[in-house]
Structure formats: C-alpha cells, structure tokens
C-alpha cells in the first residue's frame, strides 16, 4: 500500500512543481517517511488521488461519434425524462474516447449531486446491456401474487383446527400443504409458506 501511495503521489506532482521538505533531507520518492515530511507547492486534484488509489474500473465507457451525437440530442431536447437526460450526461462525462469528457466517477457524482454507485451502475449497464438500457431505469420484477391469500388462509385455518388424518395425533405443516393441494385450494405450496400463514393468525 505504501508503494502504491507513493506512486500515486508521484504521478500527481505537476511538472516543474516545487516539493518542499518539512524536515531534513529531500523527497526521494521511495519511502513514506520522506513522503510525509514533504509538501507539494502545487494543487493536487482530489478526484485523481481517490481514483488512482482504488482499483481500475471494470466497465469502461467508450462511445462512438454517433452515440455521442445521440446522447447530445437527448440532453438538449425538452421532451425527455429527467433520469434519461441524467444518464446521458453521465455517459458523456465518463466517455474515455478522444472526444469524451474523461471525467472520474467522483467528479460526475459531485457535479450532478448523485452517488458514485449510480455512476457505476450506468457504466455497467452500458457495457453489459447496451446504450438504451443504460439510459433507462432498470425494470423491477413484478410483485408475485400471494400463494395463500385471505380466502385460502381461511380454508387453511379451518383445516388446521379440524381433526388430523387417521393415524396422526396432530397436523404437520407438510400434511396441511398436501391437503390444501388435494382440496384444490392451491396448485402447490411449500410447508414454509404454510408455517408463515399460520404464524400470522397466532
């Protein structure tokens, strides 16, 4: 980690900048001891520091000229959803091609008031799914209908309160599920679903 830190700082020192040591000796570029005794008399881009010290991006935005023109059109048209315009802005700023913005995730998140995770997700969707999916919100899976609704719960409770099958002193969850299927109340049901349904009534 020390070597990585030193290399990151070395890469960030502008050409011709003065490195002023606060103690004896000079910044030799080989140890953290010399590094922390010195200060650099030139501004360092905080976004570059953060991104150089973290792992390389896995999903790289590299747009074609046609894609950039398309995204520019989205940004400058009035009739477009806000999230779509934002995603277009993110992709243009993150684009590392010659005409791209080449912004780091931290710069994008700060400029648009969003999290870096949002930026990462947009980049990931572009690489994995394509331009249009990256511009739109991910579709949520429709909520699954309840296996046992109110009416079926009533049948289940009536069954559980009744006499257990011959040869058994009480109902088991598995037997209740099997009987619910046999009686035509459900097509299939797990004993865990039966347990949760009965627990609600206690």
Contact 106, 53 (CB under 8 A): no
Residues 6+ apart with CB under 8 A from 184: none
The count of other CB atoms within 10 Å of the CB of residue 177 is: 21
pLDDT in tens, 87-118: 999 999 999 999 899 999 999 999 999 999 99
Measured in degrees and rounded to the nearest 5, phi and psi for residue 153 equal -60, -40
- pLDDT value at residue 46: 45
For the chain, the C-alpha Rg in angstroms (whole number) is 31
- Residue 141, Cβ density class (10 Å: 0-12 exposed, 13-18 middle, ≥19 buried): exposed
pLDDT in tens, 3-62: 444 455 444 444 444 444 444 444 444 444 444 444 444 444 444 444 444 445 678 999
> Is residue 72 pLDDT above 90, yes or no?
yes
Structure tokens at 173: 């969850």
The count of other CB atoms within 10 Å of the CB of residue 12 is: 17
- pLDDT value at residue 189: 82
Contact 88, 71 (CB under 8 A): yes
Residue the block writes with tokens 């398309």:
70
65 membership: H or E segment, kind and range: helix 65-76
In the chain, what are the domain boundaries? 2-52, 65-135, 150-201
The pTM of the whole model exceeds 0.85: no
Segment 170-177 shows an average pLDDT of: 87
- pLDDT value at residue 14: 47
Report the C-alpha gap between 52 and 45 in whole angstroms: 11
User: Considering only CA atoms, which of 111, 73, 77 is closest in space to residue 93?
Assistant: 111
pLDDT in tens, 110-149: 999 999 999 999 999 999 999 999 998 876 655 555 677 7
């Amino acid at each position: 980690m020390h070597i990585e830190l030193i290399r990151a700082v070395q890469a960030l020192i502008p050409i011709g900048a003065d490195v002023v040591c606060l103690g004896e000796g000079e910044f030799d570029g080989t140890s953290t001891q010399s590094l922390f005794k010195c200060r650099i008399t030139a501004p360092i881009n905080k976004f570059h520091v953060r991104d150089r010290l973290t792992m390389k991006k896995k999903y790289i935005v590299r747009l074609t000229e046609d894609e950039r023109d398309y995204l520019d059109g989205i940004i400058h048209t009035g009739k477009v959803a806000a999230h779509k315009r934002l995603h277009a802005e993110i992709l243009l700023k993150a684009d590392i091609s010659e005409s791209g913005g080449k912004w780091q995730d931290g710069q994008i998140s700060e400029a648009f008031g969003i999290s870096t995770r949002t930026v990462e997700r947009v980049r990931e969707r572009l690489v994995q799914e394509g331009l249009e999916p990256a511009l739109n919100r991910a579709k949520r899976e429709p909520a699954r209908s309840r296996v046992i609704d109110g009416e079926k719960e009533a049948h289940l409770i009536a069954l559980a309160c009744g006499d257990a099958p011959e040869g058994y002193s009480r109902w088991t969850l598995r037997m209740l599920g099997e009987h619910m299927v046999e009686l035509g109340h459900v097509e299939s049901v797990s004993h865990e679903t039966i347990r949760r349904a009965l627990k609600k009534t206690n």
